[in-house]
Structure 1
Amino acid sequence: MFIDSHAHLFKKDYAADLDDVISRARDAGVDRIVNPGTDLETSREAIELAERYEIIYACVGYHPHEAARCEGRALEEIEALSHHEKVVGIGEIGLDYHYDFSPRDRQREVFSLQIDIARRRNLPIVIHTREAEEDSLGIVERKLTDPNRWRITPDGGGEGAPAPRGVFHCFPGDELMARKVNAWGFYISIPGPVTFASKPEKPNLMAEVAAKIPLDQILLETDSPYLTPVPFRGKRNEPSRLPLIARRIAELKGVPVEEVGRVTSESVRRLFGTGIAR
């Protein structure tokens, strides 16, 4: 009934009980989970988990926090990993100017190079952007509009490849930004904070966006182990809590929760292709 389009189910957080976490997800109606890597090590682990659990599919890539450690042949190895049959995207990639754990110029470079990988491989991208929306959108837009940027391999492997497509995970923007990326063919993904209370002094922008953007442009995610929805806020998150997010979006849109599950699951399959088995 539901697909969790973004969760990090790695051993550092789930070593003791991952079998139980997967079982609870199934019991909650979550039948597929997309598990993005954040560096070379976790990308390999994402594939290992996808091989171990039918329910899990992997993405591979370098998170902006790890861009400074993306050295040597690391991106060549990421591209090699992307050929695995259960790898369905390149991610989690992007820019993060909130923490600045990696120099901004290196973040931008690694982000751009990974979009190139996605296009060569005809895979969608999973984008993280935090307090970096202008630069993130600028990089993606340039990749969309400048075909010369794709003539990048000696054998012509980049020639004629599809334009990038993907999802802005944990969507940080307003309605205008959402409609802009939707027009580019990108989805927005909504996690647990959509369930948080909205106050006059601190309105819930994510809930406002989720209410206004067409349901078929939205994906659901938990971003486990982070961003736990109400009433479990503050505890470790897990995919079994995805229905709480779906329920809140159903309330905002005035539609049955079953419709939210059906439409968002169809969108995940549309984005990631036949790799996400029915």
Structure 2
Amino acid sequence: MRYFDIGVNLSSEQFAKDRADVVSRARLAGVDNMLLIGSNIQDSQQAIVLANEFSLIASAGIHPHDAKTAEDDYCQIIQNLTEQNTVVAAIGECGLDYNRDFSPRDKQREVFAAQVALANKLNKPLYMHQRDAHHDFLAIVKEAQVPGVVHCFTDSEEALEAYLELGFYIGITGWLCDERRGDTLRKLLPRIPLDKLLFETDAPYLLPRNIKPKPKSRRSEPLHIEYVAKQAAELYQRPLEEVANAAFYNAHKLFGLELA
């Protein structure tokens, strides 16, 4: 089985002591590639360094939580990072988060809209985040002229249908494996066409709850993506290989990568 984890926070301090081992374990588990998430300028730069070190890909952008601290020339900096580093495969993580409101909502919208425009300019896919902000998010992404993925989708049927109508891919994490919080997502999953499905761990977060025995560290790793895929295959009532291969192909298509 071959997997592509489209969401890994490898720059997290939780991986500071064993990043190389994390990547090695993932590859032994069949994870052929990963996208390392950049959530602000510094984090994007670190993701790029790690992507080059481990022959992976990265995103470059500003998360809504960090919108309030975005420098005046952030779009130019992101553009420079993208043009100077072939490993940058997407613009983001960008979007809106009205759940925590770590940045003022008007600033979130401004920074998100600017990154959508930048992705259009650079012809790069969008790597997007949305929490409790569907209608404002939708108004902005309707301006997108490039493909993208709604990362770590956990929203409503209305939101899912709107994003699929726009042609976006849907990123599914270990949230799917959470019997406490994931009921809505589990019911909606079969509505996601296989040609729009992507898998991600969002490691070190969202440890799948169907892992037995659970890791002592309680830290999610890219190697755990198989548990997300297994849960999805059960809900689709399709063979694991079919579901995993679809997501693997979709990731290559979205990020413009050749299948080996």
TM-score by length of 2: 0.93
Aligned to 2:197: 218
Is 2:246 the partner of 1:245?
A: no
Hey, what's the Cα distance between the residues in 1 that align with 2:255 and 2:164?
16
One-letter code aligned to 1:64 = P
Hey, what's the Cα distance between the residues in 2 that align with 1:217 and 1:174?
17
Structure 1 residue 109: deviation in Å?
0.2
One-letter code aligned to 1:229 = P
Q: Aligned Cα RMSD in Å?
A: 1.6
Hey, what's the Cα distance between the residues in 1 that align with 2:134 and 2:225?
26
Aligned to 1:139: 140
Aligned to 2:237: 254
Hey, what's the Cα distance between the residues in 2 that align with 1:18 and 1:80?
26
Structure 1 residue 212: deviation in Å?
2.4
User: Structure 1 residues 273, 220: closer, same or farther in 2, change over 3 A?
Assistant: same
Residues 26-58 of structure 1: CA distance to partner in whole angstroms, max 9, x if unpaired? 11111100012000001000110111002x201
Equivalenced residues, count = 254
Aligned 8 A contact 2:152 2:173 in 1: yes
Hey, what's the Cα distance between the residues in 2 that align with 1:16 and 1:86?
23
5+ unaligned residues in a row in structure 1: which ranges? 145-162
One-letter code aligned to 2:242 = E
Aligned to 1:20: 21
Hey, what's the Cα distance between the residues in 1 that align with 2:240 and 2:231?
8
Aligned to 1:169: 151
Hey, what's the Cα distance between the residues in 2 that align with 1:164 and 1:136?
16
Task: Name which one, 1 or 2, has greater alpha-carbon Rg.
Answer: 1
Is 2:81 the partner of 1:102?
A: no
User: Structure 1 residues 277, 203: closer, same or farther in 2, change over 3 A?
Assistant: closer
Aligned to 1:229: 208
Aligned to 1:148: none
Q: Is the partner of 1:88 in helix, strand or coil?
A: strand
Q: Is the partner of 1:126 in helix, strand or coil?
A: strand
Hey, what's the Cα distance between the residues in 2 that align with 1:190 and 1:174?
14
Hey, what's the Cα distance between the residues in 2 that align with 1:203 and 1:111?
27
Q: Is the partner of 1:82 in helix, strand or coil?
A: helix
Q: Is the partner of 2:100 in helix, strand or coil?
A: coil
Hey, what's the Cα distance between the residues in 2 that align with 1:98 and 1:173?
12
Residues 77-105 of structure 1: CA distance to partner in whole angstroms, max 9, x if unpaired? 11110111111000100011111111110
Hey, what's the Cα distance between the residues in 2 that align with 1:73 and 1:183?
33
User: Structure 1 residues 211, 52: closer, same or farther in 2, change over 3 A?
Assistant: same
User: Structure 1 residues 203, 243: closer, same or farther in 2, change over 3 A?
Assistant: closer
One-letter code aligned to 1:112 = A
Aligned to 1:149: none
* 4+ long deviations beyond 4 Å: none
User: Structure 1 residues 217, 131: closer, same or farther in 2, change over 3 A?
Assistant: same
What pairs with 1:15-94 in structure 2 (closer than 5 Å)?
Answer: 15-54=16-55, 56-83=56-83, 84-94=85-95
Identity %: 38
Is 2:182 the partner of 1:182?
A: no
Structure 1 residue 172: deviation in Å?
2.4
Aligned 8 A contact 2:249 2:259 in 1: no
User: Structure 1 residues 203, 122: closer, same or farther in 2, change over 3 A?
Assistant: closer
Aligned 8 A contact 1:7 1:222 in 2: yes
Aligned 8 A contact 1:175 1:213 in 2: no
Aligned 8 A contact 2:170 2:192 in 1: no
5+ unaligned residues in a row in structure 2: which ranges? none
Is 2:186 the partner of 1:207?
A: yes
Hey, what's the Cα distance between the residues in 2 that align with 1:126 and 1:11?
18
Structure 1 residue 260: deviation in Å?
1.4
TM-score by length of 1: 0.87
Structure 1 residue 242: deviation in Å?
0.1
Deviation larger for 170-179 or 125-134 = 170-179
Hey, what's the Cα distance between the residues in 1 that align with 2:119 and 2:39?
15
Structure 1 residue 6: deviation in Å?
0.9
